[in-house]
Chain A
Amino acid sequence: MRAAIDYLLHLADNALVLGQRNAEWCGHGPILEEDIALSNVSLDLIGQARLLYQLVARLKGGNTSEDKLAYFRDAHQFRNYTLLELPHHGPLSGYAHSSMDYGTTIVRNFLYSALMALLWEALEKSADAELAAIAAKSLKEVRYHLRHSRDWLVRLGDGTDESHARAQAAVDHLFPYTAEFWADSPAEEAAIKAGVGVDLQTLKADWNAIVDAAFAEATLQRPTVAGYVPEGKLGRHSEHLGFLLAEMQSLARAHPNGNW
C-alpha cells in the first residue's frame, strides 16, 4: 500500500508540475493556436494529477485530499522528475529570470510524452485497477501530447537556422535530465514488485527508438549523457521547484481554512 502511494505520488507530481509549467504559456504563446494547444496539454496533465491525487487520498484516508497533497506538501515531498520543474529557458540559477523559450517547452514535452506514451500503455495492465483506468484515459491524452510536441520538434529542428540552433540548445540542456528516467528509486521498485508499477528498463529501447527517429527527422543531434543524475523523484530537486511551488501554493496557504 505504502509502495503504491509513493509511486502514485510520483506520477501525480509529474503531471501537476508539468501542467503548471505549460500553463505559463496561456496568453503568451507564439501563435494563438499554440496558446490553445498548450492549454489543452496543461488541462490534461492537471486532470491526470487530480485523478492520481484523489486515488492517493482514498488510499491514505483521513482528511487527505487532492488539494492537501498539491498545496500543502513542500518541495522535498514532491516526487516529480527534475526535468519537469525547470523553467522554459536555458540553464540558469533559481532566482535568475529570462523570457520563455518555446524550444525548451517543446523539447521537454516531447521527451516526457515519449516516455509516458509507453508507460501509460504498460500501466493499463497494472494490478491496481484504478491506476489502470487512469492509465487508459491518460494514454489517449499523451498520444496527442506526443504528436503535438514531435511535430513541433521537427518543425523547429528542420525549420530556420535560428530555430534549429534553439532546438538543439534545448536538447543539449534538457537531455541529460532524462537520465533520471532510468535510475532506480525505492518507490518504483516496490511498486514493480507489487505489480502496480512498471519497470522503465523494459521501455528504454522503445523510448530510444522514438527519440532517435524524431531527432533524425528534426536533424538534431542526441547528446551523450554523463555525470550528474537528477534525483527529483527521490525528493531532491533543482532550485526551481521551490519557486514554482511558492507561487502555486501561495493563495491556498494564505487561507488554509478557505472554501474554494
Chain B
Amino acid sequence: MYTQSFNVPDSPGGKPVPLAPSLEDPVLQAAFDARIDADGRIEPQDWMPEAYRKTLIRQISQHAHSEIVGMLPEGNWISRAPSLKRKAILIAKVQDEGGHGLYLYSAAETLGTSRDQMLEGLHSGRAKYSSIFNYPTLTWADVGVIGWLVDGAAIMNQIPLCRCSYGPYARAMVRVCKEESFHQRQGYEALLEMMTGTEEQKAMVQDAVNRWWWKCLAMFGPPDADSPNSAQGMRWGIKRVSNDELRQKFVDATVPQAKVLGVTLPDRDLKWNEERQHHDYGAIDWDEFWATVNGNGPCNKERLATRVKAHNEGQWVRDAALAHARKQQERKMKEAA
C-alpha cells in the first residue's frame, strides 16, 4: 500500500514548501514538456528536469518505505491470527507489501539512486513513510479495518498513479493496485465474518473503525488549499487528482460499505449533501496529523527502531552472502586460469 498522495519533504520540518523553478536546458525542457502535454511516458533513459527526478525519487522511495514499514502493524497479528485460514491470508498480505516495497525500490533505482541510499534515508529518520503506520494495531479487528480502509484509501491514491508520467512507477502501480484491491476485499470480508459473530467481536470491529477512520481521511494529505506542490505535481503528470477530490471519493465509497457492514463512522457531521451529490464530513485534526508525520505519533519510534534493528542484525547475513559470492567468483577465475 500506501503512498501519501502528496509530497512531504523528507526533513527537517515536514510541511510542504514550494519547489524552486527549474533552470534547465530550454530545448530539452521543451521536448520534455511536449511529451508530458501529449500524455506520453518518460522512461529512465530519457532526459528529465532535475526537480522532476528528485520529486519522483522522493515520492517513490517514500512509497517503498511505506510498504516496508507497513508490514509491521499487521505483522503484529500474524502469530495470533484466530484461524489458520486468516493466518495464511495475513501472511500472504504482509508478504505482498514486501513485494511492493521491492518493486518500488527497483523503480526508484532507475532514477539513479540505490536501495542502500534509500534505506539509509529511512533508517536515519530523514526519509518519510506513510504516517498511517505510526498508529498501533490493538486488536485483531484492526487487521480487517486496515485492509478495508487503509488499503482502500491507498487504492484511491494509487489508481491515478497508474497513469503517472514516469513509466517504471506507473507500471509498478498497475501491479500494486491489483494486489491492493485484493487486500481491501479480504479485509472487508474478514470484518463481515466477525460481524456475524459474538457481541465482543462486533464491538471489536466498531472500536477499530472508530480508531482508524480519521487517520484514513488524513492519508489523502492536507486540503488542496494547503498543498503548494500539488500544482507542480499535476503539471508533471505525477499527480492527477487533488487530495480533496480523492478524500471525497473515498468517503462516498466507504459510507455505503459501512452500512452493509453494520458499523457507524465516528463523525457526527457526516451526511449526504443533496446539492453537492457528495457526503459532507467533519473537520480533520491536522495538528495531530502533522505531529505524527513529524515524528511524534504513538508508534513512530517503535516502527523506525524495528526497521533499524532488523537491518543492523541482518548485516552479518548480507556480509556472508557477499563474501561467499566473492569466494565463488575467485574459485571460478582460478579454475579458468
Contacts and interface: CB of A to CB of B under 8 A. Distances in A.
Interface of A: 16, 20, 23-24, 26-36, 39-40, 42-43, 46-47, 49-50, 53, 66-67, 70-71, 99-100, 102, 154-156, 158-160, 162-163, 166, 247-248, 250-252, 255, 257-260
Q: Name A's interface SS.
A: helix
A16 to B, nearest CB: 8
A255 B82 contact: yes
A156 B206 CA distance: 48
Contact of B68 (A30, A32, A100): A32
A71 to B, nearest CB: 8
A26 B94 contact: yes
Contact of B88 (A46, A163, A251, A258): A46
Contacts of A258: 82, 194, 197-198, 200-201
- Chain B interface helix/strand/loop/mixed: helix
Contacts of A35: 71, 95, 98
B172 interface: no
B118 to A, nearest CB: 11
Most chain-A Cβ atoms within 10 A of its Cβ — which of B87, B193, B201? B87
Contact of B316 (A34, A39, A163): A163
Interface in B67-81: 68, 71-72, 75, 78-81
A53 B95 CA distance: 24
Interface stretch (B1-9, B30-38, B48-56, B317-325): B317-325
Contacts of A260: 82-83, 85-86, 190, 193-194, 197
Contact residues on B (Cβ < 8 Å of other chain), bracket: 35 or more
Interface of B: 68, 71-72, 75, 78-88, 91-92, 94-95, 98-99, 101-102, 105, 140, 190, 193-194, 196-198, 200-201, 306, 309-310, 313-321, 323-324, 327
A39 B96 CA distance: 10
Contact of B101 (A20, A32, A252): A32
Contacts of A47: 88
A260 B88 CA distance: 13
A162 B322 CA distance: 13
B201 A259 contact: yes
B200 A30 contact: no
A258 B144 CA distance: 15
25 contacts: A26-B78, A26-B94, A27-B71, A31-B317, A32-B105, A33-B102, A35-B95, A39-B92, A46-B87, A49-B84, A99-B309, A99-B313, A154-B324, A155-B320, A158-B324, A158-B327, A160-B319, A160-B323, A248-B80, A251-B81, A251-B140, A255-B197, A258-B194, A259-B197, A259-B198
A156 B320 contact: yes
